[in-house]
Amino acid sequence: MTVTTLHPLPATESRDERCARAERLLEGLDGCSARETERCRQEAVLLSLDLADMVARRYSGRGIEDDDLLQVARMALVKAVRGYRPGRGHSFAAYAVPTVSGEVKRYFRDRGWAVRPPRRLQERRVQLLAAEEDLRHELSREPSRAELAERLALDLAELDETAACATAYHAHSLDVPGRDVRTFDVGVDGEDEADRLVVRDALRHALAQLTDREREIVRLRFVEECTQSEIGAVLGVSQMQVSRLLSGILRRLRCSMEPAA
């Protein structure tokens, strides 16, 4: 089956409802014939297409054709449907989103799309992400460019440069060989081994203070690089709830990390 010719089912249900239906189909495969298993899996793919398309759209405009991204994301969805095993503590959406996102990122890596911005932009990028989370929480809406620039004490040109860094795809791994914990960018240059050890230890301690759910949110946001909407789809909550949760988590982590910065 050519997955790019498939179309999502009519939007008479929410994405969460369709993913839940797909999950129920996959939970009922035990004892099914090979033909019935394949039919259920195909229906689960159709029910979940917009989930894969949502992930693909996040990488649009970064040098690879949208049709190619859709093809990769939908093939990854087929892989997720075939690989999902109910009863292992994860919903189908929680399994599918990282699977699809990982395949799309691998597609970029295989084609050599790797960008490591200058350190000043990396530091500003962290500040921009934090400012966006804080302002969303304070304003209950997406902040404007002017509001972000004022919060960060930047002019609009500097803000746009920082935003371009934040949205540009980069294949720098957050799970670098030799590290025993996964980390996210906290604005400290990784070339200094002493600094890296201090930050790594502080981060490990800070993450240990979070609940399992909060650590999962951190993993989805900073390791899988999911958007707030995608995290909401995984957790079954709204984008606004995710924004508030992330804002609180980041505030606590920043407070814990300050002594090591």
- What pLDDT, in 10s, does the model give residues 145-179? 889 989 998 888 778 777 766 554 343 332 333 33
The answer to whether 108 and 64 have CB atoms below 8 angstroms apart is yes
Q: What is the pLDDT of residue 80?
A: 92
- Of these ranges, 111-125, 133-147, 167-181, the one predicted with the greatest mean pLDDT is 133-147
Are 98 and 19 members of one domain?
A: yes
CATH of the domain at 155: 1.10.10
Domain that residue 121 falls in = 114-171
* Residue with more model confidence, 200 or 249: 249
* Residue with more model confidence, 193 or 117: 117
Q: Flag whether 3 is in a domain.
A: no
The answer to whether 104 and 76 have CB atoms below 8 angstroms apart is yes
Say yes or no to pLDDT of 239 above 50.
Answer: yes
What is the rounded radius of gyration, in angstroms, for the C-alpha atoms of the chain?
20
Q: What is the pLDDT of residue 10?
A: 55
- What pLDDT, in 10s, does the model give residues 23-54? 999 998 888 898 899 999 999 999 999 899 98
Dig out the tokens for 180 from the structure: 């025993």
User: In 10 A of CB 15, how many CB atoms?
Assistant: 18
Q: Flag whether 4 is in a domain.
A: no
CATH of the domain at 49: 1.20.120.1810
- What pLDDT, in 10s, does the model give residues 53-65? 988 888 887 778 8
DSSP 177: T
Own/partner pairs for 56-64, CB < 8 Å, 24+ apart?
56/100, 56/104, 58/227, 58/230, 59/104, 59/108, 59/169, 62/108, 62/113, 62/168, 62/169, 63/113, 63/169, 64/107, 64/108, 64/111, 64/113
Neighbouring residues of 12: CB distance < 8 A, sequence distance ≥ 6: none
* Angle between helices 66-83 and 92-110 in degrees, nearest 10: 140
Q: Flag whether 102 is in a domain.
A: yes
Among 58, 77, 110, the domain-final residue is 110
Among 110, 143, 160, the domain-final residue is 110
Residues 104, 127: Cα–Cα separation, whole Å:
26
Are 30 and 99 members of one domain?
A: yes
pTM of the model as a whole: 0.49
The answer to whether 73 and 59 have CB atoms below 8 angstroms apart is no
